[in-house]
Amino acid sequence: MTPTRKQQLFLISGASCVGKSTLCEELFHRETAYIVLESDLIWREVYDTPEDNYRAFRQVWMRICSNVSQIGLPVVLCGCAIPEQFEALPERALFTETHYLAAVCNDAEMRRRICEGRGVTDEKWIRSSLDFNRWLRENAGQTTPKITLLDTTSLTPQQAAVLADRWITERLKP
């Protein structure tokens, strides 16, 4: 189905344990001018294709977001992603604009959240999350489009959601 009402698409990203899911849960309870969706909702092993940057997973989500936005509200999609995974896809044409926000925090706080908060001890998993968080902090300004960073190191989920909501609503204004 070809959308008749193109909307903006908002993507909220971040490494595991940075507070992204909790922030998005808070946005879900506040939403009035947009619809919040969590990308993990449809994750299946068939989508685990890092060799093509998870292309099929991203394409399905862009189609879902486009269809949902036909009600006249844009979608905020929460999940681990970067612009290059969406911008080159043919489905990108289904949206007027895409905006990227990444929740990040400092390494010490992230390690604390991973180890104490989730009880993770797998060093490979911890390193992978820390590396992605660091990559976002170091490269957000060089992506196309640029990724806006939201440092959650010292924020409560409610404070982070207020800032994310403000970031979204500022971009919704004509």
Q: 3-state class of 121 per DSSP?
A: coil
Task: Give the pLDDT score at 108.
Answer: 93
CA distances from 135 to 26, 78, 127, 128, 161 (A): 25, 18, 12, 10, 22
Residue 120: its pLDDT value, please? 83
Beta bridge partners of 104: 151
Neighbours of 10 (CB within 10 A): 26
pLDDT in tens, the chain (174 residues): 566 789 999 999 999 888 888 999 999 988 889 999 999 999 999 999 999 999 999 999 999 999 999 999 999 999 999 999 999 999 999 999 999 999 999 999 999 988 888 888 889 989 999 999 999 999 999 999 999 999 999 999 999 999 999 999 999 976
1 lies in some domain: no
* Among 146, 144, 13, 7, CA closest to 77: 13
| DSSP H or E stretch at residue 167 | helix 157-172
In a domain, 2, yes or no: no
In the block, tokens 């292309």 appear at 55
Which residue segment(s) compose the domain that 52 sits in? Answer: 7-167
Q: Is the residue at 174 inside a domain?
A: no
Q: What are 169's two structure tokens?
A: 């609503």
- Contact (Cβ atoms closer than 8 angstroms) between residue 87 and residue 146: no
Residue that is written with structure tokens 């660091």 in the block: 134
Q: What is the CATH number of the domain that holds 83?
A: 3.40.50.300
As given in the structure block, the two tokens for residue 5 are: 């009402």
Domain count within the chain: 1
Query: Has residue 173 been placed in a domain?
Result: no
57-to-46, 51, 116, 137, 151 alpha-carbon distances in Å? 9, 13, 31, 24, 27
Pair of tokens at residue 10: 């908002």
Identify whether 26 is part of a domain: yes
